[in-house]
A and B are shown apart, each in its own frame.
Chain A
Amino acid sequence: EAAVTQSPRNKVTVTGGNVTLSCRQTNSHNYMYWYRQDTGHGLRLIHYSYGAGNLQIGDVPDGYKATRTTQEDFFLLLELASPSQTSLYFCASSGTGGSGNTLYFGEGSRLIVV
C-alpha cells in the first residue's frame, strides 16, 4: 500500500503570510501531485512533478510555487497567502507501468488564510 504523508494537517495564516505544505511518499513513485479541493469545484490540479527537480504546471497554478527536492518529497509554497487560497490541499503520488494511473492520496492539509 502506497504511503503519502502530508504536513501540517491544519494551518492558519494571515493574508500575506508565507506557507509551505510538505508531502512525502515512501513507495518510490515517480509522479507527485498537488490538488486543492473546494466545494463545487472538486479536485483541481495545482502542480505536479515526474521526478526530482522537475515541475509541471497544473490547471490552477496562480499564487503557488512547488518544488520537488527528492523522489520522496514535494513541497507546495504560498509566498503571499490570500483568503482565496483557503482550501483543503491534497498531495498524491503515482508510479509508472500498468498500475501507474492509480493515484495514492495523502490525508489532506487544511489551510485557512484570515
Chain B
Amino acid sequence: AQKVTQTQTSISVMEKTTVTMDCVYETQDSSYFLFWYKQTASGEIVFLIRQDSYKKENATVGHYSLNFQKPKSSIGLIITATQIEDSAVYFCAMREDQGGRALIFGTGTTVSVSP
C-alpha cells in the first residue's frame, strides 16, 4: 500500500530566505507521480509542482524546486526567496501509475514566513 509521510509539522522562516520541507513515500510500484500542493489561509488548495518517478532531473517551477532522491524514497520541496504570501500549509502527495488516479496525501507542513 502506498503511504506519504511528512514529519515536519511546522517551519518558521524569515522573508527572502530559503525553506526546505521533507517528504518520504512508500510504494510497490516502479512508476509513480509525486506532487506538492499548497493550502492558503483561506482554505484554497492549489497545485504547485510535480515530479514523475522516471525523470532524473529535479522539477522547478518559479521559486519552487524539488529535491528528488529516488533511492531514499524522498521528495523535498524547496522554496527560495520566500515571501509573506508563501505562508501556508504544504502537502506532499503521490499517485501510483497502476493505482488509478487517486492521490494519497501526507499530513502537511505549516510554513510561516515573517518579515
Contact = CB atoms under 8 A, between A and B. Distances in A.
Interface of A: 31, 33, 35, 40-45, 48, 50, 56, 58-59, 88, 90, 92, 94, 96, 100-105, 107-108
Contact of A56 (B6, B37, B102, B106): B102
Interface stretch (B40-48, B63-71, B74-82): B40-48
Contacts of A100: 101
Nearest to A88: B43
Interface of B: 6, 33, 35, 37, 43-47, 50, 91, 93, 95, 100-108
Contacts of B35: 101-102
A88 B104 CA distance: 17
A58 B102 contact: yes
Contact of B91 (A43, A96, A107): A43
A42 B101 contact: no
A50 B101 contact: yes
6 contacts: A42-B106, A58-B102, A100-B101, A104-B47, A105-B44, A105-B45
Given A45-B104, A103-B47, 18 more contacts: A31-B101, A33-B103, A41-B107, A43-B91, A44-B105, A45-B102, A50-B100, A56-B100, A56-B102, A59-B104, A90-B45, A100-B101, A101-B35, A101-B101, A102-B47, A103-B37, A105-B44, A105-B45
Contacts of A50: 100-101
Contacts of B108: 42
A58 B103 CA distance: 10
A43 B101 contact: no
B33 A101 contact: yes
A35 B107 CA distance: 13
Contacts of B50: 101-102
Q: Which one of A31, A33, A58, A102 has the greatest number of beta carbons of chain B within 10 Å?
A: A102
Given A101-B50, A101-B95, A102-B50, A42 B105 contact: yes
